[in-house]
Amino acid sequence: MSNLDRQAALSVCGGRGFVVGEPVRELLTPRHVQLGESTEVRRLLPNLGRRMVGAWAFVDHYGPDDIADEPGMQVPPHPHMGLQTVSWLHDGEVLHRDSLGSLRTIRPRELGLMTSGRAISHSEESPKPHARFLHGAQLWVALPDAHRNVEPHFQHHTDLPTVTAPGLEATVILGELDGARSPGTAYTPIIGADLALTAGAEARLPLDPDFEYAVLSMSGEAEVDGVPVLPGSMLYLGCGRAELPLRAGSDAGLMLLGGEPFEEEIVMWWNFVGRSHEEIEQARTDWTTGTRFGEVEGYDGGRLPAPALPPVALKPRGRVR
């Protein structure tokens, strides 16, 4: 998905200084962002109070939306730089096309992982015909300096490892959880896992004390470390935890996001992650002039124009506003 916000805000984030080194319970409320005519997403990262969780730098939750008589998701070709995109669905499907020639339909509980490296462009759309409901999350992972210029590539994994406990099935999307490792390529120590809880479940999830974590609720009634987290909200948990207590009052769907605190300071604007204002400006120019980001074949419509850059120079700084 693209950041379709026409007043694309600039985010500067990363750096060790703002990581909470101890367990906390900080409830992040979403910002509602309109995507096109019919779709509204709930943006959890970047958030007013917090911009990253490990290398996770962008989290949108959308749906469930009834799109039976609607086009559904229609995100025209747009560029990315310096990040990976993770597509994760609970309902429906998304047709992915990119400038490498990839053409894939991502379905629920399959990993669509696009590594932009230095430059890629892609489009995402609800196929025709499509399922009635669309429900998912779109996430970005910042690439570390050593790998941010890797060759762009796209991975589609339909069979991800799971970890089970009574009332809990965890699907490992990225990184490793309790000995189960995702086949998706990760460039920093990171975890992304889908947590499916059944009504009445009480579970304790093993965590890495050196990671910072957050849990996004996608559906149902769940308590994370004793805090009720409503669908579309995210609880930031800090670091220093060896385990995480979970309870479900109904069937519930959560996402665990975590990782080693991202020490590099980054500049994030529109669909780009860079290290300086000049880099971002160059990427915007390259997209506008049709160089570097390649061509997406087969999308029925034009490409997404870049918004205007904010008038002030972008400087990298800390993780919390």
Q: Which residues bind Mn ion (CB under 5 A)?
A: 2
Closest approach of Cβ 75 to Mn ion, in Å?
7
Specify the residue for token string 């935890």. Answer: 241
Cβ-proximal residue to Mn ion, closest one: 2
Q: How far is the CB of 188 from Mn ion (least distance, A)?
A: 20
Phi, psi values for residue 57, rounded to 5°:
-120, -5
Q: How far is the CB of 96 from Mn ion (least distance, A)?
A: 9
CB of 117 to Mn ion, least distance (A): 14
Closest listed residue to residue 268, CA positions, set 36, 43, 89: 43
Give the nearer residue to Mn ion in terms of CB position, either 244 or 266: 266
Nearer of residues 99 and 233 to Mn ion, judged by Cβ: 99
Q: For Mn ion, which is the closer residue by CB, 104 or 247?
A: 104
Euclidean distance between CA atoms 268 and 279, whole angstroms: 11
Task: Decide whether 2 or 39 has the Cβ nearer to Mn ion.
Answer: 2
Shortest Å distance, C-beta 140 to Mn ion: 8
Using the minimum distance from each CB to Mn ion, give the nearer residue, 81 or 215. Answer: 81
